[in-house]
Each structure stands twice: as structure tokens, then as C-alpha cells.
Structure 1
Amino acid sequence: MSNDIAYPVFRTPDPALALRTARRLMEFGRCEYSKVCVYAELRSVAEVRRVAKELPAGWFRGQEEYGEFDGVPLEDQPTLVVGAQGPGLPADPSAYEGRLPVEFELHDLPVGSIEDAFTAAIGPNMGEINWEILCWPDAPELGFLGESKHAEVTLLLNTRSREFDDPADDHTVLVHVRSVSIDGRQMREPYAHWLAKQVGLTVIGPGQRY
């Protein structure tokens, strides 16, 4: 089993510029089967309702305590815990007590189908756009073969962390490569630098792993 590591290559307070830049990098590796996913953490009922109105096809899911519904049939669990699309969200504000932040997500969409709408709807919330199943080319001058399993581009919105543990006033583009660590050194980091350089970008910080 292998894992990825993601290096920041661009940062700006302008979400539209961040999206354009991320797309430029994504297009460098885009292939026939590339997909896009989006995710956000919504920290108020007002934001859940606003985003549900703007992106009604998204799936919304509230938090639950560990083991809270052990043994409870799925049909008897709260709608917000099970997950629902925008129109199916509960209207009663009390349904959100203890359930924030509510997670929003959409997976395996065609490239170009959701990115603009999601960036416009994100507001102050932390979120990400992740393009996956890309195909990074060979870099023979560095001795690196291309890859697809860990070829991804992520745009972090209102955070600099893949863990969503620290809000920010800017947005960061990440390039993903396979993580190969020997004695604490990431052996494929030069490949990330090379990929960024192909579209006029540069690595601006340490790699991030989940």
C-alpha cells in the first residue's frame, strides 16, 4: 500500500485566481478518466441552509458521537446523521444541535462540472476541490517515471491544511505525488518541484500527508 504527499505550489487571497491556477496544473495531468470531488465543513445552520440552496445536489452529513447509534437501525437514525441532499435537510433548527460542523461533499464528477459553482458558494467555510485520476508524465532528466495512482491536484479554500484544522484568509494549491520516504527524506519531492515548474509554479512549503 502506498500513500501520497501534497506540496503547496501557489497561495492567494483571490479564490478565482486560485481556481484558475489549480486548473492550469490539473490540465497538465488531465486524462480521459479524470474526476473532481468537492468537500466543505459548514459551521453554522445559516451556512448549511445557504449552501444547500446554492448547491442542492450536494450531500450533507452532521456529526455524531462515537458509538452514539450503535445498534440503531439506519432508518431510525436522524436524517442529518445519515446524510441528505439539500432538499431533504431538516427544517427544525434543533436538528442541528450537536451536529455541527455539517460536512458537504460531492464525489466522482466530470472535470469542469462543479468547480466554479463550488468556489462561488464556499463563502467563509473551509473546503477543498480535489482533481484525481490524473496522469503525471515521466521526468526522464530526473530519473522519475510518471504516475497516476497518486497524481492529484487540490485547491484548499480558506485553509492551508489538508486536515481543516486551521482557518486562513487565503487559498492554497497543492500538487500530489507518491510518498517515498527513506531516513525521513522524501525521495520524490524533486518530482513535485518538476511538475510545478512545468506550468510556471514552484513549491512554496513542506509536503502535507494525512
Structure 2
Amino acid sequence: MSVDIAYPVFRTPDLALALSTARRLMEFGRQEESSVDVYAELGSIAEVRRVAKELPQGWFQGQWSFSEVDGVPQDELPPLTFEVLGPDLPTDPAAYEGRLPVKCSLDDQPVDSIEDTFAAAIGPNQGYIRWTRLCWPDVPEQDLYGDCIHAEVTLLLNTRTREFDEPADDYTVLVHVRSVNVDGRQLMKPYAHWLAEQEGLTIIGPGQPS
């Protein structure tokens, strides 16, 4: 099974600029079936409530352990151990004990349908906007082969890594290509370079594997 690797090609404290840059890169691979996913981790009850108000169609779920839900009927599950829409979030603060950060996500949305709303709602929280089902074209003049399986663009929000282990006060754009590692060398890295060059950009850090 093949996997992807994502290269950072742009970073800025200007969210609007980061979003517009990511969108322009996405357009190189956009197809009719392309879609967008959004995701955030909300570290306080106040932030959960604020984001739920701004993104009521989002799905919210708290932290949970398998032992809490194993064999428990769905109608008896503890609050926030399963996904709920924003309007259905519990109002009792006690329901959030041990559940933070609460995850907020919305997947498989049409391109250009949710990005602006989500970017406006993210605030200080870590998250991402990820465009999927893209298709990178062949670049025969440079002997570069495109890919329609791992072609994605991600805008990282308030973090510099896909694992959310490097908090930041800025925004990073990643371009995804197929990971083809031969003797420690990524053979598709030149394609990521080519994508970045289309917007006058360059790779600014190591690739982030999936």
C-alpha cells in the first residue's frame, strides 16, 4: 500500500494569504470530484461553544477510551464519546471533564464551500484545511509523472506539522506527493518542487510522511 509525503512550501502569519496560496496550488490538480476536509482540536469549553456557534454543521467529539464504550448501547454512551453536531453538544460543563481537546471535523465537502467559514472560526486552535481527490498532471518536459492517488494540498493552522506537535502562531501550506523512498532519497520530491515553483515558491522544510 502506497503512502504520501507532504512538503511545506509556504508559511506566513497572514491567514488570508495562506488560504489564497493553498487554493492556487490546489487548482493545479482540481477535478470535478475534488473535495475538502476541515479539522480542529478545541482546548476549552469556551472554544468548543464558540466554534459550534460559527460552524453548527461540524461534527464534535471528545477524548474517550475503548473501555468506556465497549459493549455499551449507543443511547447509553457517555456524552462526547461519539460525534454530535454543534447544536447537539452538551450544555453541562461537567460533560467535558476529561474530554478536552474536543475534535471538530467536517469531511468530503465541495471545494469552496467551507474553507472561508472554517478559517474565520479557527481562532487560536490547531487544525487544518485539506483538499483531497486532486490529480497532479504529468510534466513530460521535466520527466515528472503526475499522480491521482496522493495529490493533496493541506493548510496547517496554528501548527507546523501534521501531528500537531509543533504549535505555531502562523500557517503552513503543504503539497502532497506519493512517497517513493529509494536509499533514503524521495524520488517524487522534484515534483513537489515543480508544484511550488508554479507559484514562485520553494520547499522550505523536510517532508512530513503520513
TM over 0.5: yes
Q: How far apart are 1:118 and its partner, in Å?
A: 0.4
Task: Indicate the SS of the match to 1:81.
Answer: coil
TM-score normalised to structure 2 length: 0.97
Q: Aligned ranges for residues 105-124 of structure 1 at < 5 Å?
A: 105-124=105-124
Q: Distance in 1 between matches of 2:142 and 2:183?
A: 20
Q: Distance in 2 between matches of 1:11 and 1:144?
A: 25
Q: Distance in 2 between matches of 1:51 and 1:203?
A: 32
**Corresponding residue of 2:90:** 90
Q: Distance in 2 between matches of 1:24 and 1:55?
A: 24
How many matched pairs? Answer: 210
Q: Distance in 1 between matches of 2:142 and 2:206?
A: 20
**Corresponding residue of 1:127:** 127
Task: Indicate the SS of the match to 2:75.
Answer: helix
Task: Indicate the SS of the match to 1:29.
Answer: coil
TM-score normalised to structure 1 length: 0.97
**Corresponding residue of 1:54:** 54
**Corresponding residue of 2:69:** 69
Q: Aligned ranges for residues 60-209 of structure 1 at < 5 Å?
A: 60-209=60-209
Q: How far apart are 1:172 and its partner, in Å?
A: 0.1
Q: Distance in 2 between matches of 1:69 and 1:158?
A: 32
CA displacement, residues 37-74 of structure 1 (integer Å, 9 cap, x when unaligned): 00000000000000000000000000012433222122
**Corresponding residue of 1:23:** 23
Unpaired segments ≥5 residues, structure 1: none
**Corresponding residue of 1:34:** 34
CA displacement, residues 166-186 of structure 1 (integer Å, 9 cap, x when unaligned): 210110000000000011111
CA displacement, residues 138-189 of structure 1 (integer Å, 9 cap, x when unaligned): 1213322211110000000000010012210110000000000011111111
CA contact 1:127–1:158 (8 Å) conserved in 2: yes
Aligned sequence identity (%): 70
CA displacement, residues 108-159 of structure 1 (integer Å, 9 cap, x when unaligned): 0000000001001000000000000111111213322211110000000000
Q: Which amino acid aligns with 1:171?
A: Y
**4+ residue runs of structure 1 moved beyond 6 angstroms?**
none
Q: Distance in 1 between matches of 2:141 and 2:22?
A: 25
Q: Distance in 2 between matches of 1:69 and 1:145?
A: 46
Q: Distance in 1 between matches of 2:141 and 2:185?
A: 20
**Corresponding residue of 1:13:** 13
Q: Distance in 2 between matches of 1:109 and 1:162?
A: 20
Q: Which amino acid aligns with 1:70?
A: D
